[in-house]
Chain A
Amino acid sequence: MTEPANSSDRSMTWLYAGALLVEAVVLVALGLISNFFG
């Protein structure tokens, strides 16, 4: 059985983790671009 509140919390946690992951990837990409062209 699934608790709706827990399910919601879990999906929000994944949503937050995904946002941090996307930022990390973008920062690394920007660092590489700066390094390559800078």
Chain B
Amino acid sequence: MQLLDWLIVVGYLVWVVVDGVRRAKSTDKLEGYFLADRRLPWWAVGLSVMATQMSAITLVGTTGQGFEDGMRFVQFYFGLPLAMILLSVTIVPYFHRARVYTAYEVLERRFDAKTRALTSFLFLVSRGLSCGVIVAAPAVILSIVLGWNQVLTILAIGLPTTVYTMLGGVQAVTWTDVKQMVVILLGVGAAIVVLITGLPEDTDFLGTLHAAGATGRMQTIDLRFDLEETYTFWSGMIGGLFLMLAYFGCDQSQVQRYLTAKSVDEGRASLMMSAYAKIPLQVVILFIGVLVFVFYLFQAPPMLFNPVHEAAVRSSARAGEYQRLEEEFEAAFERRRAAAAAVGEARRGGAESELEAARAQFVTAQDRLGVVRGEAIELVKDVTGDATYRDVNYVFPTFITTRMPIGLVGLLIAAIFAAAMSSIAAELNSLSTATVMDFYRRHLRPQATERQYLLVSRVVTLLWGLFACFVATFAVSLGSLIEVVNRFGSFFYGLLLGVFVLALGFRRSTARGAFFGLIVGIGAVSWVAFARPEISYLWHNVVGVVVVVVAGLLLSLTDRRPREA
């Protein structure tokens, strides 16, 4: 990174932190600190909803996934628009009328205190862990760019975010989110322009997409109904629907966003912004990953995208073996480059059979390159002892720092960092809200003053920030980070959604049925997750909802005590 890039990154981060801290002035009451006095406009809430969902993982993990696996991950979001409509019709007016601070408060009114406590606890566990993963993603980037120790980079990201969230509350979170979205969109646009203009002049762009398509990277829709396939149309449409219903309807980090809206309709409109924009935006971000793949068809890619591991192998006793693989990789790259150019020429020629033959040759060349890269990855695993090594999360950051022009490197890095910070901030804010409102105020100190609650809220935010940093130190080696977050979420979300379905949809459900239905559901999802690991994690959401609702209803029917209102 050059001086200009550093100035952009540092200037942006300082601005975000200062702007966040400035919001502390208007947060002297609990409702202002946690809910902005329920007076925010729909567009700001809507952008905050999107920015909270789109963390640095979205840029780093999704582009890496697009590079390695193609665009089929977009199917994950197919259930989102319908989920937003269902939530706008049902849960948004319900929460607004109830004037709650947390989603779990309504469960106490409908069922009992222990159901509220258990659901809030599940939220704290799942969101607390995933917050750590969200800190880890930009830390990976910083460690590459700066060559710093990863623990140091985790603290560099986590601590400033914790400080402005602690002082500025939800106002700081929302208004910084709005700014992040603008910067993210600018960064995404800049990356696309650089990737397309960076191709050699005589390259046939559609031909390169044909080459990417030959490897399956342009495949976006898979209509097979296969429970073991993670991303299919059906897993996205059904499993994804349940996941999104649970994420936006039962996860405090999102519920808190639209609780700050001025009215029911403004809350609905804020969710509908994602219903319109999320899938197209994800298509664009995944397409960036495919474009990075296309870019490296003509510009020599590194054999490994993680320079730290590469350096470890180079300085080991097996450096000679690595050098031999590098030579093979270079030769395989040249063959693949020629094969990619041939696909473009065949496409321009117009003969279908020639195009098919060229595509087949390209696939062979790509497979050969993949074999050599696979051997290099195995070598890294042997030398470093890191059996889980994957470098998919390093692909886009490496492209940014080695191929983007001066100035845009700073913009992209700032966009990734700031997006991460805003998501972390939203999560810390919601973790603090649930801890204080569902446990501290409800069970420990019901009669404390506003001033005391505010002080405790700030201390709790600080503690959650430190916890997230601690988890992040482990999360950096967990493979594709976006999958890690979604796996955490899918384990818990179906369960939470099941309890809300019982509360809102079934008048006969009782407190005992809901609580023990939830316990049965935890057992069922745990069994599926651990005993049947081949089943895609998106289906955990469906299992969770169905088991909690069915078990909860059966237990409610056997409940002899009078039904609670």
Residues of A at the B interface (CB closer than 8 Å) are 8, 12, 15-16, 18-20, 22-23, 26-27, 30-31, 33-34, 36-38
Contacts and interface: CB of A to CB of B under 8 A. Distances in A.
Contact of B219 (A8, A12, A19, A38): A38
A34 B209 CA distance: 11
Contact of B84 (A19, A26, A36, A38): A19
A30 B74 contact: yes
A26 B88 CA distance: 22
A12 B220 contact: no
Interface in B83-99: 84-85, 88-89
7 contacts: A12-B265, A15-B268, A18-B276, A19-B84, A23-B279, A34-B219, A37-B209
Contact of B81 (A22, A30, A34): A22
A18 B277 CA distance: 12
Contacts of A22: 81, 275-276, 280
Q: Does more than half of chain B's interface fall in helix, strand or loop, or is it mixed?
A: helix
Contacts of A12: 88, 265, 268
B220 A30 contact: yes
A26 B210 contact: no
B82 interface: yes
A19 B216 CA distance: 29
A2 B265 CA distance: 17
Give the top 5 A-B pairs by smallest Cβ distance, nearest first.
Answer: A37-B213, A37-B218, A19-B275, A30-B220, A23-B81
Nearest to B237: A27
Interface string B61-84: 000000000000010001001101
Contacts of A27: 78, 221
A15 B81 contact: no
B212 A30 contact: no
B283 interface: yes
Contacts of B210: 37
Q: Does more than half of chain A's interface fall in helix, strand or loop, or is it mixed?
A: helix
Given A20-B85, A23-B81, A38 B276 contact: no
B221 A30 contact: yes
A38 B279 CA distance: 20
Given A18-B276, A26-B279, A34 B265 contact: no
Interface string B266-286: 001100100110011001000
Given A19-B85, A26-B280, 20 more contacts: A8-B265, A12-B88, A12-B268, A15-B268, A16-B88, A16-B272, A18-B276, A22-B81, A23-B81, A26-B279, A27-B78, A30-B221, A30-B283, A31-B221, A34-B218, A34-B221, A36-B213, A37-B213, A37-B218, A38-B213
Contacts of B265: 8, 12
Interface string B203-215: 0000001101100
A18 to B, nearest CB: 7
Given A15-B272, A18-B276, A30-B221, A38 B216 contact: yes
Contacts of B218: 33-34, 36-38
B220 A34 contact: yes
A8 B84 CA distance: 17
Contact of A16 (B85, B279, B280, B283): B85
